[in-house]
């Protein structure tokens, strides 16, 4: 990508829906604390979509 290209978000509906910046190795399950990968990446709350298919 050059400096003159504009950033666009392309992908399938599932890819666009799941795009929330969470790490690929997210394994949140607790309702109060984020998993280590999310905490390491700066998230203070667990993934609200955890367990949702």
Residue with tokens 């998993």: 35
CB 9 within 8 A of CB 19: yes
Per-residue pLDDT at 41 exceeds 80: yes
Task: Give pLDDT tens digits for 3-23.
Answer: 565 555 554 444 444 556 899
Distance separating alpha carbons of residues 18 and 21, to the nearest angstrom: 9
Per-residue pLDDT at 53 exceeds 80: no
Q: Please state the rounded mean pLDDT for residues 25-31.
A: 89
pLDDT at 8: 53
Closest CA to 20 of 53, 47, 52, 51: 47
CB 24 within 8 A of CB 40: no
């Amino acid at each position: 990508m050059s400096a003159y290209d504009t950033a666009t978000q392309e992908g399938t509906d599932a890819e666009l829906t799941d795009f929330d910046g969470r790490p690929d190795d997210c394994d949140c399950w607790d309702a109060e604390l984020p998993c280590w990968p999310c905490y390491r990446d700066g998230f203070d709350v667990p993934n609200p979509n955890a367990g949702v298919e």
